[in-house]
């Protein structure tokens, strides 16, 4: 319980100074540990086994954020961007059939793999190239681009934000809770026609 208080205090203090969270290891670790503990709360394991899984998920998430060099956007921050009709690109990185079933309003789709993709692999992107990806992202390298996928432990949005940064997009961010967090917050979804 003291971790939750510490996390919430640290989050509220940092959100007072910035709308988005910097990719520091400490912040990424705190967010990942907190998120993973919520995700694994009902895993049916004893508390010690759950802690091992929580730690594994938290470390994976923290390492992704640090290695990707991108910032994070919370579900509430993303909702505000959508509601304010902010000038940004929202990219759903889930498979096309999942996107067709449901997605956040205004999102475009570019399917990426769950597994870390440090080298571009067209076999994992439906034969799409980095040129296809850059075309979707546009010419403005400073444009705000937010990537999301299914849930915190899914690596698709990590791959999107990481590759955007690799291609020189300076304002690429990741909403780690994905569509699960969006639904959990009670926010509406769209479906392709």
Give pLDDT tens digits for 53-68.
Answer: 989 989 999 999 999 9
Element (H, E) at 71: strand 71-72
Nearest CA-CA partner of 29 in 51, 7, 50: 7
Say whether pLDDT at 117 is over 60.
yes
The SS3 assignment for 109 reads strand
* Three-state DSSP string of 145-176: EEEECCCCCCCHHHHHHHHHHHCCCCCEEEEC
Residue 191 confidence class, pLDDT cut points 50, 70, 90: confident
Sign of CA dihedral 134, 138, 141, 147: negative
Domain ranges of the chain: 2-68, 71-184
Q: Max CA-CA distance within the chain?
A: 51
Cα-atom radius of gyration of the chain, to the nearest Å? 16
pTM for the full predicted model:
0.76
Q: Give the model's pLDDT for residue 36.
A: 57
CATH superfamily of 71-184: Rhodanese-like domain (3.40.250.10)
The SS3 assignment for 81 reads helix
Q: How many CB atoms within 10 Å of residue 171?
A: 18
The 8-class DSSP code of residue 103 comes to B
């Amino acid at each position: 319980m003291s971790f939750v208080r510490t996390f919430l205090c640290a989050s509220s203090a940092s959100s007072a100074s910035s709308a988005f969270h910097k990719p520091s290891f400490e912040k990424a670790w705190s967010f990942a540990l907190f998120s993973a503990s919520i995700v694994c709360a009902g895993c049916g394991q004893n508390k010690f086994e759950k802690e091992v899984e929580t730690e594994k998920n938290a470390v994976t998430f923290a390492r992704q954020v640090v290695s990707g060099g991108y910032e994070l956007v919370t579900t509430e921050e993303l909702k505000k961007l959508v509601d304010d009709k902010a000038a940004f690109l929202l990219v759903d990185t889930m498979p096309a059939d999942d996107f067709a079933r449901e997605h956040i309003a205004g999102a475009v789709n570019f399917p990426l793999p769950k597994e870390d993709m440090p080298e571009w692999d067209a076999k994992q992107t439906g034969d799409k190239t980095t040129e296809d990806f850059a075309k979707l992202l546009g010419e403005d390298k400073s444009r705000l681009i937010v990537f999301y996928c299914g849930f915190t432990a899914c690596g698709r949005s990590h791959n999107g934000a990481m590759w955007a940064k690799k291609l020189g997009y300076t304002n690429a961010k990741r909403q780690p809770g994905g569509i699960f967090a969006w639904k959990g917050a009670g926010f509406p979804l769209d479906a392709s026609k």
